[in-house]
Structure 1
Amino acid sequence: MDRTAKADLVSTLNGVFNESAVVVVAHYKGLTVADMQKLRSQMKQAGATVKVAKNSLAGIALEGTDVASIKPLLKGPTLLAYSGDPVAAAKVAVDFAKTNDKLVILGGAMGTTSLNPDGVKALASLPSLDELRAKLVGLIQAPATKIAQLSTAPAAKLARVFGAYAKKDEAA
Structure 2
Amino acid sequence: MTDEQVTALITTTLERKPKDATHWSTRSMAREMGLSQSTVSRIWRAFGLQPHRSQTSKLSTDPYFIDKVCDVVGLYLDPPERALVFCVDEKSQIQALNRSQPVLPMMPGVPERQTCDYIRHGTTTLFAALEVATGKVIGSLHRRHRAQEFKAFLITLDKEVPDDCDRSRR
The interval holding the TM-score normalised by the smaller chain is under 0.3
Q: Greater helix percent: which structure?
A: 1
The TM-score normalised by the length of structure 2 is 0.22
Q: TM-score, normalised by structure 1?
A: 0.22
Larger relative contact order (Cα-Cα within 8 Å, sequence gap ≥ 6) = 1
Q: More strand per residue: 1 or 2? A: 2
